[in-house]
Amino acid sequence: MTATKRELLPLQTSSDVVLARQKVRQWAIELRFSLVDQTKLVTAASELARNALDHGQGGQMAIEIVNGAARTGLKLVFEDNGPGIPDIQMALKDGFTTGPGMGLGLGGSKRLVNDFSIESEVGKGTKITVVRWK
């Protein structure tokens, strides 16, 4: 998987979440994703960006166009320096939440993308990588 284009966006305020969403939409259109695929990816980005802000005390999103074997995709990496997730399996379950939300952010966004991986260290932060292939 090689990256052909990459950009970094801060996630410190709720308007950063809006900007991140717009950037993902713009790149998804450039890659000619279908409308449903665009919507899924932008929604997943919105959930994960908000997670980084609400649970991770802010962080950043990297957006990358990646080329795999005969296919192109959009890869998003969300990193925060928050408290980390002690139990990832639990955090991925629908309905599990430590905040005021509905607990759909992680499990839900996993269903909206093709690849999903999560690394987290308690006290250090969380890194979530997602890819949606065209």
Q: What does the per-residue mask of binding to other proteins show for 76-105, with x meaning CB under 8 A? A: ------------------x------xx-xx
Is residue 57 within 8 A of residue 10, CB to CB? The reply is no
Cα distance between residue 21 and residue 15, in whole Å:
10
Please list every residue from 22 through 61 that binds other proteins, using CB under 8 A.
Answer: 22, 25, 35-36, 38-40, 42-43, 46-47, 50
Residue 12 lies near other proteins (rule: CB under 8 A)? no
| Neighbouring C-beta atoms of residue 88, cutoff 10 Å | 13
Instruction: CB nearer to other proteins: give 35 or 70.
Output: 35
Q: Extract the tokens encoding 88.
A: 């990832």
Cα distance between residue 81 and residue 7, in whole Å:
19
- Residue position matching structure tokens 């065209």: 134
* List of residues contacting other proteins (CB under 8 A): 14-15, 17-18, 21-22, 25, 35-36, 38-40, 42-43, 46-47, 50, 94, 101-102, 104-105, 107-109, 111-112
